[in-house]
Structure 1
């Protein structure tokens, strides 16, 4: 049966260890990189603030030395600041009037923004990133300072200092370069984590496939040994079993006048027939023959199967129906093996409905794995009690059965026949409302043969 296989518990720990290791490594890389990015951004801003504060203090010291002079001296001081780090520099009065600026045309304008008001009211410096009218982003630092006013006769009155504010804007390119490097590192780590995750997923898929193949190989080896042993036993049992059945039937004819004796001989004959069927199933599974391919009308095969199963369906009170949709074109298959395939499926469906129900066989044409390969799908749908979750993964295993008198070979033989024809078989649906088995067969047979 083709489908998803479950990795056994002993093989799960390497996968879990791999997943855990990848998760820890990925989480660690992301955490360290995010922390580094956050720290770098803070350090870059702190460096700008320190640089701006150092320059502002130098300007403030020189401004104090020029306090006895006129405003033109302050403007000359500010206009002479030609350091490449400075975007602009301004000195303002307490009321916000600009008394000096690197752009002389702005002298006399007002600084009336929220940051200026906050610095004026609290006396604490404030730094922030802002975007100028030119579109450039700068780091703007607003620093309060005091200049002693000039009294009568040009004497400096230190008892009544004048409150002023310096605003200095610094170019952020050097600091931003550090941040960009941290962002690039973050991006690189993100891509690395994605690659690592993809690699981990591929490794997990590879490990799962490896373990599944190991399990399947061990299972095939085990089943092959059981099959060979069963074939030997079946071959040795078949001849004496035929003799027992023949003698039981002969004694039944002789004891027709003795009902108890007749009942016992019939029981012997019936059980011999059941064992004969088991022997035939064992030989079919252990020594399958290749399909004798010929053009086969699938609706005719299904009709023949239901005709042969007529007594069983009537006895169980099961109503049967065949539904063929699309073009019912012939397929390349062995009609006898297909009868065995669908006969086993119909028999299982009947046994799942001991108190009666509905059995529907549906055939439809579908596209195969390529546009040039056509296929047919046949569903065998019953209204029985369904397959339990515990049994669902094992129903196609040989020698696995939930019935006391079952052989566990019916669905295993169905799998063999389907695979020999290049098709697939699976449980399409199961539950309290019934079970649907889906068989897909290529029209032309296997692609390699």
Structure 2
């Protein structure tokens, strides 16, 4: 709304100055000089509001409406005409310079803001990492003792005994707690990727083969479509495989009935794109912006760190990840990774 108001203001200033030019007699050169100088106001205002494109549109508009006045009123006075034409040239030069400076300043400000956010995030993860280490130690030690004690107790009961069933539940919960601690450590203290040349299609294929047995149980079809003659990529194979597995498991868990998960890879403008698409229930518009937020989950199981870990891995590989989804229409995750230079 504010930009729309600025458009009206800039247009109004140009219109008023142009009418002043056409309505002021030519024998009052001082007034015409003032009007000509005032044309710089809407041009610079457009530069500050809309950048280079807005400034040039404004200067070209001023030039178009001013040129007829130059030749109609001063065409017979060579010096006056040349002076006005030079002023028109200056309008466009000022527009280009001011617009370029504004855009440069905006880019610098955006880079500075991004750097500040990265620094704040790094400090947060440093504190979180220290907390995670202490927490993991304090939780895993008693869990190990509990598991050892349960294994001893289990020896006193035969398979099929009612108490053995309860012991198995305890073992399952201990395993789940260990997984939660592992996920928390992976998120809070991510290791820097050990970059090597690797075939991303092979990593995807290996990830698909790992989840295939579980997919077959749920009657979920896994489809792959790989780009032929794919360029190699500098990446950490184990970390990327973890990212692909997390996304595939996320899609698999989202499918409450038989469905399909498709994985495609392609290259585009120096990027390697990997798309994982499912036919699940999708994500609501309200929850979509939160999917990568740590500890956010809509599932009964899990702690909501899987997608956060994927995002961290992709970012550590100088890549990008995005998600598109609509309720009832499935979800698409897209990973973009830079090709090997």
The 5 A counterparts of 1:81-92 are none
User: Shift in Å at residue 272 of structure 1?
Assistant: 0.8
Q: Is 1:256 equivalent to 2:152 in the alignment?
A: no
SS at match of 1:419: helix
Match in the other structure for 1:229: 131
User: Shift in Å at residue 355 of structure 1?
Assistant: 1.6
CA offsets 1:326-348 (integer angstroms, 9 cap, x no match): 21454333222222111111110
User: Shift in Å at residue 382 of structure 1?
Assistant: 0.7
1:326 to 200, 219, 228: 228
Could you tell me which runs of 5 or more consecutive residues in structure 2 were left unpaired when the two chains were aligned.
52-98
Match in the other structure for 2:268: 366
User: Shift in Å at residue 263 of structure 1?
Assistant: 1.2
Distance 1:376 1:34 in 2: 50
User: Shift in Å at residue 438 of structure 1?
Assistant: 1.1
Q: Is 1:435 equivalent to 2:331 in the alignment?
A: yes
Match in the other structure for 1:377: 273
- Tell me whether 319-328 or 197-206 shows the greater mean CA deviation: 197-206
User: Shift in Å at residue 186 of structure 1?
Assistant: 6.1
CA offsets 1:291-311 (integer angstroms, 9 cap, x no match): 233333333322322232233
Q: Is 1:184 equivalent to 2:36 in the alignment?
A: yes
CA offsets 1:73-107 (integer angstroms, 9 cap, x no match): xxxxxxxxxxxxxxxxxxxxxxxxxxxxxxxxxxx
Q: Is 1:355 equivalent to 2:208 in the alignment?
A: no
SS at match of 2:298: coil
Check 1:246–1:217 CA distance in 2 against 1; reply closer, same or farther (3 A cut).
same
The 5 A counterparts of 1:22-41 are 31=12, 34-35=15-16, 38=19, 41=22
Distance 1:303 1:397 in 2: 28
1:174 to 27, 33, 45: 27
Check 1:314–1:411 CA distance in 2 against 1; reply closer, same or farther (3 A cut).
same
After superposition, the CA RMSD in angstroms is 3.5
Kept in 2, the 8 Å contact 1:358–1:382? The answer is yes
Kept in 1, the 8 Å contact 2:266–2:272? The answer is yes
Match in the other structure for 2:309: 413
CA offsets 1:407-444 (integer angstroms, 9 cap, x no match): 22111211222222232222155553111111123343
Distance 2:151 2:267 in 1: 47
SS at match of 1:436: strand
Match in the other structure for 1:278: 180
Distance 2:151 2:263 in 1: 37
User: Shift in Å at residue 281 of structure 1?
Assistant: 1.3
Distance 1:227 1:292 in 2: 20
Check 1:227–1:354 CA distance in 2 against 1; reply closer, same or farther (3 A cut).
farther
User: Shift in Å at residue 32 of structure 1?
Assistant: 6.0
The 5 A counterparts of 1:276-355 are 276-355=178-257
Match in the other structure for 1:393: 289
- Which structure dedicates a bigger proportion of its chain to helix? 2
The 5 A counterparts of 1:151-166 are none
Match in the other structure for 2:46: 194
Kept in 2, the 8 Å contact 1:297–1:330? The answer is yes
- Tell me whether 390-399 or 260-269 shows the greater mean CA deviation: 390-399
Rg larger in structure: 1
User: Shift in Å at residue 258 of structure 1?
Assistant: 5.0
Distance 1:318 1:443 in 2: 31
Kept in 2, the 8 Å contact 1:428–1:436? The answer is yes
TM-score, normalised via structure 2 length: 0.71
Distance 1:308 1:36 in 2: 72
TM-score, normalised via structure 1 length: 0.55
Check 1:318–1:196 CA distance in 2 against 1; reply closer, same or farther (3 A cut).
same
Aligned residue pairs total 291
Kept in 2, the 8 Å contact 1:223–1:398? The answer is no
The 5 A counterparts of 1:74-153 are none
Q: Is 1:423 equivalent to 2:275 in the alignment?
A: no
Kept in 1, the 8 Å contact 2:14–2:42? The answer is no
Kept in 1, the 8 Å contact 2:283–2:325? The answer is no
Check 1:213–1:263 CA distance in 2 against 1; reply closer, same or farther (3 A cut).
same
Distance 2:5 2:108 in 1: 18
